[in-house]
Amino acid sequence: MVISRSSLAGSQAIVVLKGDSPVTGSVVFEQSIKDGPVTVSGTISNLDPSSKRGFHVHQAGDLTNGCLSAASHFNPFGANHGAPTDSERHVGDLGNIESDEFGTAIFSFEDSLISLNGPRSIIGRGVVVHAGTDDLGRGNNEESLKTGNAGGRAACGVIGMFTCGHYIQEFT
């Protein structure tokens, strides 16, 4: 059996977040094997202290009109909005990030629905940190099933491949 160096290295992507608010940060996505879970690790600063904020992959990697151009949550299968642990959810539903008492969120978690390849690929799509808490689709209203009532868009960026220590923007 021959295993190539590239299959051992896996895939990495990165997004740098900024917007009209003071919220900034960066997030790295790592997938060690094709169709395996993606590890999502990041640091986001200038959030409200001790708060939860909706964190989603959005359909478009378009920032021509700021974060509003990122379109709706990435949802290729037409599901309702939900929590990352729900069996039915948008592919882009990554729940909430939680800031510390200084307004910084440092996080790392795995997600088995997003991917860095294939029909669930998040490459070239937008990431949005919302101004409010995501109710995870449990708000008992129509908007909850679309957006989780997470509010406006505090910061955003476009996910690009990260190869051999270099950031390479890819578009799908």
pLDDT digits over 119-166, tens only? 999 999 999 999 999 999 999 999 999 999 999 999 999 999 987 555
Is 166 a residue of the active site? no
CATH of segment(s) 12-168: 2.60.40.200
pLDDT digits over 6-58, tens only? 333 579 999 999 999 999 999 999 999 988 999 999 999 999 999 999 999 99
Spot the catalytic one: 5, 48, 90, 100. 90
Q: What is the torsion angle, in degrees rounded to the nearest 10, for the CA atoms of residue 119, residue 165, residue 97 and residue 141?
A: -20
Spot the catalytic one: 53, 73, 120, 125. 73
Is 153 a residue of the active site? yes
Is 130 a residue of the active site? yes
Q: Give the per-residue pLDDT at 155.
A: 98
Q: Where are the domains of the chain?
A: 12-168
Spot the catalytic one: 93, 111, 134, 135. 93
Q: Give the per-residue pLDDT at 73.
A: 98
pLDDT digits over 81-94, tens only? 999 999 999 999 99
